[in-house]
Amino acid sequence: MSSELMKQRINKAQMEIDLIKEEVLGSRYRQKYHFMAEAGWINDPNGLIYYKGQYHFFYQYNPYDAYWGAMHWGHAVSDDMLHFTYLPVALAPSESYDDDENGGCFSGSAIEYDGKLWLMYTGRAKLDGEYHQTQCVAWSDDGITFTKYENNPVVTAPQGYEADNFRDPKVWKHGEYFYMVCGAKKDNLAKALIYRSENMLDWEFLNVLAESRGELGYMWECPDFFEIGDKHVLMFSPMGLNECTSVYLVGDMNYETGKFIYSTTGRIDWGLDYYAPQSFNDADGRRIIVGWANSWDWMPWFKDWGPSFKDKWCGFFNLPREVVLTEDNRLKFIPIKELESLRCNETKEKNITVLKDRYLLKTDSISCEIKLSVNLLKTTAQQINLLLRSDGENGAHICIDFKRQEMSFSRDGADGWSNGTSRSPLIMADKEHLDIHIFIDQSSIEFYTDDYMTNHCLNVFAPCKNNRNYIFAAEGKAEFNFIECWEIKKATD
């Protein structure tokens, strides 16, 4: 009976999408090569998995509005993580534990087991007048149509934990067991709880995998845990840490006790629009992460989610990145090499000197890639500035400030809509060159530097006439070993 209700809800959602998708697809702020839904609202990436020869991306989805609402799981597949085919909505609210206008099927993850594709998600609904978040299971034989487990929920918040702050299960297999980590809150402090199971249905609480003692916020959304090299990584999006939207911890795991002891802490991205990244292993064993390119209304700089709501859609993902562990146990986040297949119209220049007058880069596309190498031995400037998506006057402004040892990315005045500046330290130690890699798309700019260890993603909703990109120096000259530009071909519908 209840699977009948989910079917009806999915059909209803599909009709809504079909009704508006043509109008949405041609609209002005649509990205050219970043993942989006056909129409409506999306937030977190969910259930990312390489399954039976294809990448499956699921996502937090409200097909009925360009704003957050009762959460469904949207679904799309891809051969290269860049070109996608949309599939029917995978999960819709339909049960007492997930059917609520302020709830639904919240974030979760996927795993292959017994030839089936299993989804683990958080159901949010009211019980006796209070909201509860519980962990639930669904599966599919064909990777398209899902059935919710009749004995859901399979895990509820432990005694002493807040019932409405227990969410976002990430599952993986290690040895004989399945493991799951969930974000939780107790005594106003964030915890990551680890559970284990032999069959994906019966779960036992193992331990508090890791926790905040105040320094890492009061709640961790979308925790993710994986092995890399001889280390383990816990990532999450913390609540209550001001400018900080994504954290990683590198350390060692004891599967007997369920305790993770970390020694390194870092930021996945310093930008204003990078949240809730989820990881998965791709076909070649690379560890890939994908994040949601937006922010929540509780963040200090929040203004709104951008102007695309006028065209009946909102939200996209940041570019997939490969995670690489460094020798000193930090992480690099490198945009996947598949992106190179979208390059065209290459220009390469060598040994360029830039002074205070603006130097116009040789790409006027609103979807392009730029790579720069600053020669730090020959550069005398105190600042190197980039003015991107500019109309000749205004633009998004990246400033590499050698004096203050800081990088900043400001979008104040960049598009007449957005505001806010993200900032990160500029790590100079003994370097001979500074590498900069930029991806510009219709409505966002991704900025990678410091060998992909310091990155900023920000959304910018500038019109197409803002298609110039400049560099200029302050207080001295900037010397570039090379400047390379490409136009990027359209990959999205």
User: Which chain residues interact with ligand FRU by CB under 6 A?
Assistant: 43-44, 60, 71, 106-107, 122, 167-168, 221-222, 275-276
Q: How far is the CB of 359 from ligand FRU (least distance, A)?
A: 39
Nearer to ligand FRU, 107 or 134 (CB): 107
Separation CA 386–CA 395 (nearest Å): 9
Nearer to ligand FRU, 101 or 475 (CB): 101
Chain centre to alpha carbon of residue 46: 10
Q: How far is the CB of 106 from ligand FRU (least distance, A)?
A: 3
Q: How far is the CB of 296 from ligand FRU (least distance, A)?
A: 7
Question: Who contacts 396 (Cβ-Cβ below 8 Å, separation ≥6)?
Answer: 387, 388, 389, 390, 409, 410, 411, 414, 445, 458, 460, 462
Separation CA 240–CA 471 (nearest Å): 36
Of 347, 359, 346, 379, the residue nearest 480 (C-alpha): 379
Question: Who contacts 26 (Cβ-Cβ below 8 Å, separation ≥6)?
Answer: none
Centre a 10 Å sphere on the Cβ of residue 181 and count the other Cβ atoms it contains: 27
Nearer to ligand FRU, 167 or 196 (CB): 167
HSE-CB at 189 with a 13 A cutoff on CA atoms is: 12
Q: How far is the CB of 44 from ligand FRU (least distance, A)?
A: 5
Q: Which of 44, 269, 311, 415 is catalytic?
A: 44
Of 448, 434, 207, the residue nearest 324 (C-alpha): 448
Nearer to ligand FRU, 217 or 395 (CB): 217
44 in active site: yes
Separation CA 10–CA 13 (nearest Å): 5
Separation CA 144–CA 133 (nearest Å): 25
Nearer to ligand FRU, 92 or 386 (CB): 92
Q: How far is the CB of 32 from ligand FRU (least distance, A)?
A: 25
Centre a 10 Å sphere on the Cβ of residue 379 and count the other Cβ atoms it contains: 21
Of 207, 166, 199, the residue nearest 185 (C-alpha): 166
Q: How far is the CB of 241 from ligand FRU (least distance, A)?
A: 14
CB 332, CB 321: distance < 8 Å:
no
At 2, is the secondary structure helix, strand, or coil?
helix
At 155, is the secondary structure helix, strand, or coil?
strand
Centre a 10 Å sphere on the Cβ of residue 149 and count the other Cβ atoms it contains: 15
Separation CA 187–CA 190 (nearest Å): 9
Nearer to ligand FRU, 76 or 366 (CB): 76
Q: How far is the CB of 275 from ligand FRU (least distance, A)?
A: 6
Which residues have a catalytic role annotated? 44
